[in-house]
A and B are shown apart, each in its own frame.
Chain A
Amino acid sequence: VLFPTATFAIFFMIVLPASWALMRHGGLWRPFIIAASFVFYAGWDWRFCFLLAFSILWNQGFALAIHRTGAARSRKQLLVAALAGNLGLLGYFKYYGFFVTSTNNLFAQLGIDLPLDVRSIVLPVGISFFTFMAISYVVDVYRGDFEPTGLGKFAAYLSFFPHLVAGPIVRPGELIPQLETPRDPRYVDTSRAFFLIGTGLFMKVVIANYLAANIVDEVFGAPELHSSPEVLIGVYAYAVQIYADFFGYTNIAIGIALLLGFTFPQNFDAPYSATSITDFWRRWHMTLSRWLRDYLYIPLGGNRGSRIFTYRNLMLTMLIGGLWHGAGWTFVAWGAIHGSALVAERWWRARPGFVERPPTAWRRAWHRFVTFQVVCLAWIFFRAQSFSDAWDVITQLFTAWGEPSPLITGGVLAAIAVGIGSQYLPRRLPLALMARFSRLPIPAQAAVLSLALLVIHAMGPEGVAPFIYFQF
């Protein structure tokens, strides 16, 4: 079930009042929300509900076992088993075909014909997200940062439908305590929830879909047929499209959770206003970057060793982060570009005699510009289906200046301007808008929301394309 559809609206209009009605009765509320989440998940393919149920039982079982075991060695063995199960599941569904074809082709180049079987495997939607959340639960229990909760609460945590298929990746410490105490029905942050849902719908339904249909798909489909300015604007448009798509989804998810009384962490903080790649990763998909930091980079050793050791850890984290996004070498290349940029920035700052110059407006603008170009270069590999496709886009950026550019229209430029410009708005503006909205009488709030839905629905395309991040 996609968020911006009538089916979801009906589903949510049943779940919202029922959830609040049952909220005071934890014993009833949890089974209800788990059932609702499974119904939501079954909207894609009911068979994968068993997979989600397996993940719940597997991780809860190991978390309890780790908690009850005293011996350090046994605890470690249990953790390794739990992780093996999670990564095995992810590996089978997401990476099986990729590894088998890569291995087969590698050996074929050496003249060895491997009899490895390639099966056709359907990727369960959201598996990367709920697997990462499950891992964080087991690891937090192992580290002693978190005590295992009851099966019902853990099931509600892992399957909670607002975050289930595309995040944000919520930590056990952030959500499970909220699931343990009934939410207070007197104080709901409705204005923030409606603001997030409204802006999320606008970014996804209007901006992302418009750019995809009017320039991105055409430019990346056959770059050789387009002028250099078109390809350049097409790449910028993709940067805005993927941001609008994912930022939009996350906003809707956070808004829906808020209406149900739950607070999710922020996932984006104006990423295209970043002044370095390090800064970018503090602002883009923040719940993933902190997951990678806490459950991968730091366990790898983090920056607790030599500089080379730190660079290696950074690079490995970004390469694995790239592979998490998709089973393909182009995603690894995307991670490699970001990893290299992070390493280069660290190396630059660690040079002897390096002095951080005071930031001026021009210097900040220049840093933002350069950072955005590096991010866009990486997006080319992220969007392309192969290295050869990515190379075609890059080549075309330099070889077709002066040709007509009919795809660069006022609408395309306006959508890009909205996507990027919205990240430079003063932070007090949305806060002021939300405060003003919250002071409107209830009928006026409903009227404003109705008008917003009218504009979004009328400006959007017929039908809504799936969110890009669902495939991850």
Chain B
Amino acid sequence: MENETRRRRRPGRREGEGGRRLHSAGAAIVVSLVALLVSLLLNAPGLHKSAQIQPEGWKRDVALGVTGPLDTASSTLLLDQPRRALKAALGRSGDDVVDTAVAVPEPAPEPEAPVARPEPLTRPLHTARQPLRIWIGGDSLVVVPGESILRAVASRPSIVPAAPIDGRIATGLERPDVFNWFTHIRDLMRSQRPGAVVVMFGGNDDHGFMTGVAEGVTIGSFGSGSWEREYRRRVRGIMDTVTRNGAHLTWIGLPISRDGEQTRRYDTINAIVQSEAAKRPGRVHYLDTYFFFAGSDGGYAQYVTDASGRLVKMRADDGVHFERPAGDRIAQEVLRVLGERFRLRDGP
């Protein structure tokens, strides 16, 4: 009986360092749960966007199933207003907006009769006074080669970066909801007016899930006819957006990866890019990186012997991304391409 009474008695207060009051585990659970639930409502627009831009699969479906009603409830109760005000104050009102518009230029009409052989392109001259403005962008794969390119051009007054490297993790051409490259590149071509553009896309596009597809259009699995048509349209759109603004485009092809299946999927993407680049000679150059990083047996190799005979780590531990020596190798090739396309005079 005495034990029973003792068990029911409220525990005495106990204080921690600095006189703070200790609470029960129940209070810890209640505060944690309530705070999380309320913050879910307060952050609902951002969480709903995070759910939308997840990779396809059951996790995305569940996240959308949860955050969709939350977003609606938050909006109805005006609980999303503090977040919107905070975002506006930070100048980031667009953060929670999902933009899936694939804004690409209309393809050029096919000529009815064979046209005369096009005139050979001139090689514009760029000097320290009139430097070639270069812009580098794409998914996370472009970051390391991009840094190497910028390092290489630092000592060349005839080339200047138009903007910092625009490498965005987990993006590509399949998911404009994650990041809309079509709108971004269109705006960038107008605002920065680069003369040379270097891009790398496709590292996150090796699956069959696309957003921004026109209503009524169904996309099949990766590599299917409908998938290829839509992906080709997007590749073509990027190429035309760049070239119709007068810039030269170097498209870095996807490398061999540690996962053989993934490499095969990358081959499919590379083939599309390569064939579209071939239709735009002198304006788009496809840079094949496959054999830069293949081992002596032609397969994937993380370590490759470089030109000086040293064994160097070319690929990151994830089997896809590049290490600095690989970036330098790609940069060397990009500069060679630019040197062929432009007259770059660094001296007086």
**Chain A residues near B21 (CB-CB < 8 A):** 191, 435, 438-439
Q: Which of B31-39, B230-238, B245-253, B334-342 faces chain A? A: B31-39
Contact with A along B27-68 (1 / 0, CB 8 A): 111111111101100110011011001000000000100000
Q: Is the CB of A190 within 8 A of B23?
A: yes
* Option from B16, B24, B25 in Cβ contact (under 8 Å) with A192: B16
Q: Is the CB of B31 within 8 A of A189?
A: no
Chain B residue at minimal CB-CB distance from A455: B86
Contact with A along B1-36 (1 / 0, CB 8 A): 000000000010010111111111111111111111
A443 to B37, CA, bound (A): 13
In this assembly, does A225 line the interface, its C-beta being within 8 Å of a C-beta of chain B? yes
* Option from A12, A20, A438 in Cβ contact (under 8 Å) with B20: A438
In this assembly, does A17 line the interface, its C-beta being within 8 Å of a C-beta of chain B? yes
Q: Is the CB of B151 within 8 A of A435?
A: no
Nearest Cβ distance between residue A435 and chain B, in whole angstroms? 4
Q: Is the CB of A13 within 8 A of B36?
A: yes
* Option from B14, B26, B38, B143 in Cβ contact (under 8 Å) with A447: B38
**Chain B residues near A385 (CB-CB < 8 A):** 323-324
Contact with B along A108-128 (1 / 0, CB 8 A): 100000000011111100000
**Chain A residues near B36 (CB-CB < 8 A):** 9, 13, 453
In this assembly, does A224 line the interface, its C-beta being within 8 Å of a C-beta of chain B? yes
**Chain B residues near A104 (CB-CB < 8 A):** 311
In this assembly, does B147 line the interface, its C-beta being within 8 Å of a C-beta of chain A? yes
- With A120-B302, A446-B31, A459-B86 known as contacts, the answer to whether A189 contacts B20 (CB < 8 A) is yes
**Chain B residues near A186 (CB-CB < 8 A):** 11, 14, 22, 24-25
Chain B residue at minimal CB-CB distance from A195: B20
In this assembly, does B281 line the interface, its C-beta being within 8 Å of a C-beta of chain A? no
In this assembly, does A463 line the interface, its C-beta being within 8 Å of a C-beta of chain B? yes
In this assembly, does A68 line the interface, its C-beta being within 8 Å of a C-beta of chain B? no
Contact with B along A181-197 (1 / 0, CB 8 A): 00101111111111000
In this assembly, does B187 line the interface, its C-beta being within 8 Å of a C-beta of chain A? no
Q: Is the CB of A431 within 8 A of B18?
A: yes
Measured as residues with beta carbon below 8 angstroms from the partner, the interface class of chain A is 35 or more
* Option from A221, A261, A458, A462 in Cβ contact (under 8 Å) with B50: A462
In this assembly, does A259 line the interface, its C-beta being within 8 Å of a C-beta of chain B? yes
A219 to B84, CA, bound (A): 32
Contact with B along A162-203 (1 / 0, CB 8 A): 000000000000000000000101111111111000000000
Q: Which of B103-111, B163-171, B197-205, B208-216 faces chain A? A: B163-171
* Option from B23, B151, B309 in Cβ contact (under 8 Å) with A222: B151
In this assembly, does A105 line the interface, its C-beta being within 8 Å of a C-beta of chain B? yes
In this assembly, does A457 line the interface, its C-beta being within 8 Å of a C-beta of chain B? yes
- With A101-B312, A188-B22, A385-B323 known as contacts, the answer to whether A16 contacts B29 (CB < 8 A) is yes
Contact with A along B62-101 (1 / 0, CB 8 A): 0100000000000000000011001100100001000000
A434 to B25, CA, bound (A): 17
Chain A residue at minimal CB-CB distance from B90: A459
A446 to B29, CA, bound (A): 10
Q: Is the CB of A458 within 8 A of B43?
A: yes
Please indicate which of the listed interface residues B16, B38, B150, B154 has the most CB atoms of chain A within 10 Å of its own CB: B16
In this assembly, does A373 line the interface, its C-beta being within 8 Å of a C-beta of chain B? no
A454 to B154, CA, bound (A): 42
* Option from A20, A100, A445 in Cβ contact (under 8 Å) with B31: A445
**Chain A residues near B43 (CB-CB < 8 A):** 453-454, 457-458
* Option from A105, A189, A449, A458 in Cβ contact (under 8 Å) with B90: A458
Q: Is the CB of B23 within 8 A of A108?
A: no
In this assembly, does B313 line the interface, its C-beta being within 8 Å of a C-beta of chain A? yes
Q: Is the CB of A431 within 8 A of B32?
A: no
A residues apposed to B, CB below 8 Å: 6, 9, 12-13, 16-17, 20, 23, 97, 100-101, 104-105, 108, 118-123, 183, 185-194, 218, 221-222, 224-225, 259, 261, 385-386, 389, 392, 428, 431-432, 434-435, 437-439, 442-443, 445-447, 449-451, 453-455, 457-459, 462-463, 465
A-B contact pairs, 7 of them (CB 8 A): A119-B302, A121-B317, A186-B22, A187-B14, A428-B18, A438-B16, A454-B83
Q: A9-B36, A221-B165 are in contact. List 8 more A-B contacts (CB 8 A).
A: A183-B25, A187-B23, A188-B23, A189-B22, A221-B151, A392-B151, A449-B31, A457-B46
